[in-house]
Amino acid sequence: AAEGAAAVRAAAAAVLAEEPGADVDYLALVDPDDLAEVPEDHRGPALLAVAARVGAVRLIDNAPLVVGPRDGGAAEAPGDGAAGGAARRR
């Protein structure tokens, strides 16, 4: 995520493309507050959302992350994995 929104999208798409039998319905990098796609120059919290079919099963998931370096440091995933991603590191 430290390299920006385009890198996040490309990396996620590449990983999903390598999964045999996975047919991606959507892959989106969105603002966690309003679910609007984030622009390429976005820095800060984001949500990587994906829906894909594997056989007859449709899987939907998301992962919170921080796009770009924070305070001059490396980017990091927010929170501790708690439901809803409410907790964020400061």
**Residue 62 in this model has a pLDDT that exceeds 50:** yes
Q: For the residues 6-28, what does the mean pLDDT come to?
A: 95
- Residue 80 has a pLDDT of 41
DSSP state of 8: H
Residue 31 in domain: yes
Residue 82 or residue 15, greater confidence: 15
Report the SS3 class of residue 17: helix
Question: Which H helix or E strand runs over 54?
Answer: strand 44-54
Residue 83 in domain: no
Report the SS3 class of residue 51: strand
Could you give the CA distance from residue 36 to residue 65 in angstroms, rounded to a whole number? 15
What are the start-end ranges of the H helices in the chain?
A: 5-17
Q: What percent of the chain has pLDDT over 90?
A: 72
User: The domain spanning residue 31 has which CATH number?
Assistant: 3.30.1300.10
Count of domains forming the chain:
1
- Residue 69 has a pLDDT of 80
